[in-house]
Amino acid sequence: DAKTTQPTSMDCAEGRAANLPCNHSTISGNEYVYWYRQIHSQGPQYIIHGLKNNETNEMASLIITEDRKSSTLILPHATLRDTAVYYCIVRPRGGKLIFGQGTELSVKP
């Protein structure tokens, strides 16, 4: 079973920041937080991952709370092409990716 809780769906205006929350209150000390997304009719795509520090790459930023029980994925300037299902996954080193239902993000013009 997935160890994360995400809202089923969210809307975001094009050009604005999209903030996608994820709760993982039972996360263990050796587990990482991963984010993938799946654009319609495509395979999932890796976005970012982190352990306890905030992370940023060319796609997004990941903010993890100090107690590590929740995190937020930030897409700083959402575009229509960011419309997708976003999966938050908790995974230990060497462990499997277990996908939940994710958040369906709709970016609207």
* Interface with another protein (CB under 8 A): 34, 38, 42-46, 49, 87, 93-94, 96-101
- Residue 6 CA to residue 37 CA, distance in Å, equals 13
- Residue 70 CA to residue 26 CA, distance in Å, equals 10
Residue given tokens 């995400």 in the structure block = 6
For another protein, the closer of residues 21 and 44 by Cβ is 44
- Residue 18 CA to residue 58 CA, distance in Å, equals 15
CB of 14 to another protein, least distance (A): 26
For another protein, the closer of residues 80 and 98 by Cβ is 98
For another protein, the closer of residues 59 and 63 by Cβ is 59
CB of 29 to another protein, least distance (A): 15
CB of 13 to another protein, least distance (A): 28
57, 75, 56, 62: which is closest to 33 by C-alpha?
62
- Residue 1 CA to residue 48 CA, distance in Å, equals 21
For another protein, the closer of residues 15 and 95 by Cβ is 95
CB of 16 to another protein, least distance (A): 27
